[in-house]
Structure 1
Amino acid sequence: MLDLKLVQKDPDRVRAALAARQAPTKELERFLAVDEERRAIQQKNDELKSERNASSQKVAQAKRAGEDAGELIAELSQISTRIKGMDEELKRLEEESREILMGLPNIPHESTPVGASEEDNPVLEYWGEKPELDFEAKDHHDLGVALGGLDFERAARIAGARFAVTWGWASRMERALLNFMVDLHTSRNGYTEVTPPVIVNATALRGTGQLPKFADDLFQLNHKDYYLIPTAEVPVTNLHAGEVLEEADLPRAYASPTQCFRSEAGSYGKDTRGLIRQHQFSKVELVRFVKPEDSYEELEKLRGHAESVLRELNLHYRVITLCTGDIGFSAAKTYDLEVWLPGQNAYREISSCSNFEDFQARRADIRYKPAGQKKSTYVHTLNGSGLAVGRTLVAVMEQYQQADGSIRVPEALQPYMDGLTVIEPKD
């Protein structure tokens, strides 16, 4: 959530940010109109309260003098009734203002490139050698089905489209990847492993920015206040909702392996083949709570941790910086890691690493107390996928495929698969 004082005092900055995001300014203008009305009523309400205090003193004086105070008491009652009505109107306007404010996106950081869409996202760097296959590459769908590891037909009968069943080696490799990622982040990158609930309430989703704007992307349970998590970012960030952390405790870094659930609203017809865009998938999420002055250094560190998974697996990828027209609602700056998929002849996102600055912390009320200061202030929150497990499985299958339809097992994964080196076709 944006700083209320910033929106009130510098609406032009917010307008410029919305324009850079290719977002309409309608809600900002509505906020300013509501806020102006609220301030006018507040001023009148304050004047009436002063008038009420003066009337109360007159009533007291009349009573002490033995005079008839009936008319003064009636006048005082009328003032009190008007104040009560204004208090109720002020409460309504404050709630409306907050609701509008919750719907305004974050202001992009000055280093976020200006652009209209994903077409304007600059490539920052490439890592590793792009696999040069001397045969026609297959996509992971055909490879997985042929090797008996992926089953989309049975999944469709059980649950519907955008689900998958993994068998044997594929299920084992998915588990190996998840364990490998968690071990890497906890043993080398300094994260604490945490397993949160995969069901959260609406308050948690509002805290990280999924509600109210992205309700259609969520799976809501019959219990109206409960939702399946779209990412572990939601429960893990909210672990410290309403808390005041000590400066000595920062940064805090958590690695969370969970199942995630997304309705994929608005993606009809996109990536319906294979594992790229599923309703249910596993992911290792990295979440960091940091001091504001450190947050962009911490973003580079977070990105490096996500990249370390791809480098250990020797998977070719590139890093792009999202432009203002493509950046997420809550983010001030975002890097995407895109892994090369030979079967699709394309780079596909496998991780987004974002700095939200204090946007989420304001919504979830997460603060810290700087040493030597009396007042607390908001932390900055960051998160990134470290990585999406299903998409990493896809990348391994496609980059490590061989001409005979087999798939080599990356060296880093072999200890997690009892030394298995090749997934071979069955006779």
Structure 2
Amino acid sequence: MLQVSIIEKDFDRCVKGLEKRGIEGAESLLKDVLRLDESRKKLQGELDEVLHESNKLAKEIGQLFQQGKREEAEAAKAKSTELKQKSKELSEEMNGIEQSLTKHLYNIPNIPHESVPAGKTDEDNEVVKLADETIPNLGDHKNPHWDLIEEFDIIDFELGNKVTGAGFPFYKKQGARLVRGMINYFLDKAIEAGYEEVLPPVVINEASGLGTGQLPDKEGQMYHMEANDQYLIPTAEVPITNMYRDVILKADQLPIKHAGHTPCFRREAGSWGSHVRGLNRLHQFDKVEIVQVVKPSQSYEVLDQMVAHVEEIIKSLGLPYRILRLCSGDLGFTSVLTYDFEVYSAAQEKWLEVSSVSNFETFQANRLKLRIKNSDGKKELAHTLNGSALALPRIIAAVLENNQAGDHIKMPEVLHPYLGFKEIRKG
């Protein structure tokens, strides 16, 4: 959530940033926020005066009764009753203004970093690095992963459709061990990099969704359990970051680094075609997430470190990859700057997104009321960051497709100790 003080101080920059995102009427939208905030402050001033007068009068009433000035005391009591009614009316009016202000702010996205390229769709994303890993020449063995998983009997989409519905596959045999092995490998890499592992719940409440910006922006993309007004998580970022909702951290506690594996749930409604076939897009999938809470002065250095961490994992798997800086039109609602990683699928002959690493600056922290208490006693909002390290389905798709060799599929060497096998074979 944008800070009103930032909107007021850097109004022109905020307007240009929202316009860069393609937000129509950005100037009018931000002016509405400032008007509401001005009304709130005015009402707060009036309420403070009424409460001050009411408290002062309460002391006088007691003194008047002690002095035997009953008539004056009764008149003061009547005035006190009027002031209480006035304070109630002002409080109700101010609560309405505050709710309207919060609603406005909840629906305004973050301001893009100056390095974010202008653009409307993913076609306008900027390639900042194209790795020199050789794209494999599959020759006669060029089957997409949805054919391979059926041929080697390691993932069952039909069974998942029977038990749950489309987009909820069963992993089995060596396929199940591949998932488990990858999760453990990704977690071990995160722990080596100084992240503390946490296993969070996969169900969140509304406050948690609001805290990290999934609500109200992505409400239609999450599975909602109406009976309890709870949601299945779209990413471990949400419960892990919400560990620090309404928390004041001491500066010497930072940086905070967490890694967690969870299943993730996304409705992904309305998507059809080959680009979402097989493992390319699922309603449930596994992912290891890395999250950091840091001092504002360090967040861009930390962002580079997180990008390097993800890059190291992908390189270790031997997959051709590229790194993109997302354009303003493809940037997530809460993000200031996001780097996407894509791996090349040799059988599908296209790039598959497998990770996003983002800096949110104070946007989430403002919603979460996540603050830092510095050594001088002053408080400031923290910066939060997160990244996929990694999401499994498309990584698995690329590993299967790029390493197929007819009667077997070779596994990346770094995974051998985690899998207990070096290749996937039929049967």
TM-score w.r.t. length of structure 2: 0.90
Q: Secondary structure at the match of 1:343?
A: coil
**How far apart are the structure 2 equivalents of 1:194 and 1:95?**
34
The residue identity in structure 2 corresponding to 1:171 is A
**Which deviates further from its counterpart, 391-400 or 112-121?**
112-121
The residue identity in structure 2 corresponding to 1:177 is M
**How far apart are the structure 2 equivalents of 1:155 and 1:57?**
72
**How far apart are the structure 2 equivalents of 1:66 and 1:211?**
58
**How far apart are the structure 2 equivalents of 1:200 and 1:77?**
44
Shift of the 89–303 alpha-carbon distance from structure 1 to 2, 3 Å rule, reads same
**How far apart are the structure 2 equivalents of 1:73 and 1:192?**
60
Q: Secondary structure at the match of 1:253?
A: strand
Instruction: Give the corresponding residue for 1:12.
Output: 12
- Displacement after TM superposition at 1:378 (Å): 1.9
The residue identity in structure 2 corresponding to 1:6 is I
Q: How does 1:384-423 map to 2 (within 5 A)?
A: 384-402=387-405, 404=406, 406-418=408-420, 420-423=421-424
Indicate the percent of aligned positions where both proteins have the same amino acid.
Answer: 38
Of residues 18, 23, 37 in structure 2, which corresponds to 1:35? Answer: 37
**How far apart are the structure 2 equivalents of 1:51 and 1:10?**
37
Is contact 1:319–1:335 with CA below 8 Å preserved after alignment? Answer: yes
Q: Secondary structure at the match of 1:326?
A: coil
- Displacement after TM superposition at 1:78 (Å): 3.7
The residue identity in structure 2 corresponding to 1:224 is N
Shift of the 361–68 alpha-carbon distance from structure 1 to 2, 3 Å rule, reads same
Is contact 1:109–1:333 with CA below 8 Å preserved after alignment? Answer: yes
Residue deviations 1:161-198 (CA, integer Å, cap 9, x gap): 111111211111111111111112212x2212111111
Q: Which runs of 5+ in 2 are unaligned?
A: none
Is contact 1:138–1:342 with CA below 8 Å preserved after alignment? Answer: no
Shift of the 38–376 alpha-carbon distance from structure 1 to 2, 3 Å rule, reads closer
**Which deviates further from its counterpart, 34-43 or 198-207?**
34-43
Q: Secondary structure at the match of 2:372?
A: strand
Shift of the 272–326 alpha-carbon distance from structure 1 to 2, 3 Å rule, reads closer
Instruction: Give the corresponding residue for 2:128.
Output: 124
Q: How does 1:212-227 map to 2 (within 5 A)?
A: 212-227=216-231
Q: Secondary structure at the match of 1:22?
A: coil
**How far apart are the structure 1 equivalents of 2:352 and 2:231?**
28
- Displacement after TM superposition at 1:92 (Å): 1.6
Shift of the 76–369 alpha-carbon distance from structure 1 to 2, 3 Å rule, reads closer
Is contact 1:369–1:376 with CA below 8 Å preserved after alignment? Answer: yes
**How far apart are the structure 2 equivalents of 1:116 and 1:272?**
21
Q: How does 1:133-148 map to 2 (within 5 A)?
A: 133-135=138-140, 137-148=142-153
Is contact 2:4–2:34 with CA below 8 Å preserved after alignment? Answer: no
Q: Secondary structure at the match of 2:178?
A: helix
Shift of the 179–15 alpha-carbon distance from structure 1 to 2, 3 Å rule, reads same
**Which deviates further from its counterpart, 136-145 or 74-83?**
74-83
**How far apart are the structure 2 equivalents of 1:217 and 1:164?**
19
**How far apart are the structure 2 equivalents of 1:243 and 1:124?**
36
Q: How does 1:198-277 map to 2 (within 5 A)?
A: 198-267=202-271, 271-277=275-281
Q: Secondary structure at the match of 1:107?
A: coil
**Which deviates further from its counterpart, 47-56 or 258-267?**
47-56
Instruction: Give the corresponding residue for 1:171.
Output: 176
Instruction: Give the corresponding residue for 1:424.
Output: 425
Residue deviations 1:191-241 (CA, integer Å, cap 9, x gap): 121111111211111111111221111112244332211110011111222
- Displacement after TM superposition at 1:87 (Å): 1.8
Q: Secondary structure at the match of 1:267?
A: coil
**How far apart are the structure 2 equivalents of 1:10 and 1:247?**
27
Shift of the 376–57 alpha-carbon distance from structure 1 to 2, 3 Å rule, reads closer
Residue deviations 1:37-83 (CA, integer Å, cap 9, x gap): 33444455456567768988998998869595466765554454233
Instruction: Give the corresponding residue for 1:305.
Output: 309
Shift of the 193–43 alpha-carbon distance from structure 1 to 2, 3 Å rule, reads closer
Shift of the 257–44 alpha-carbon distance from structure 1 to 2, 3 Å rule, reads closer
The residue identity in structure 1 corresponding to 2:236 is A
Instruction: Give the corresponding residue for 2:386.
Output: 383
**How far apart are the structure 2 equivalents of 1:416 and 1:75?**
77
Shift of the 228–397 alpha-carbon distance from structure 1 to 2, 3 Å rule, reads same
Q: Secondary structure at the match of 1:94?
A: helix
The residue identity in structure 2 corresponding to 1:131 is P
- Displacement after TM superposition at 1:357 (Å): 0.9
Aligned length, in residue pairs: 422
For the aligned residue pairs, the C-alpha RMSD in angstroms reads 2.5
Instruction: Give the corresponding residue for 1:81.
Output: 85
Is contact 2:359–2:386 with CA below 8 Å preserved after alignment? Answer: yes
**Which deviates further from its counterpart, 297-306 or 199-208?**
199-208
**How far apart are the structure 2 equivalents of 1:192 and 1:51?**
53
Shift of the 62–408 alpha-carbon distance from structure 1 to 2, 3 Å rule, reads closer
Q: How does 1:157-196 map to 2 (within 5 A)?
A: 157-187=162-192, 189-196=193-200
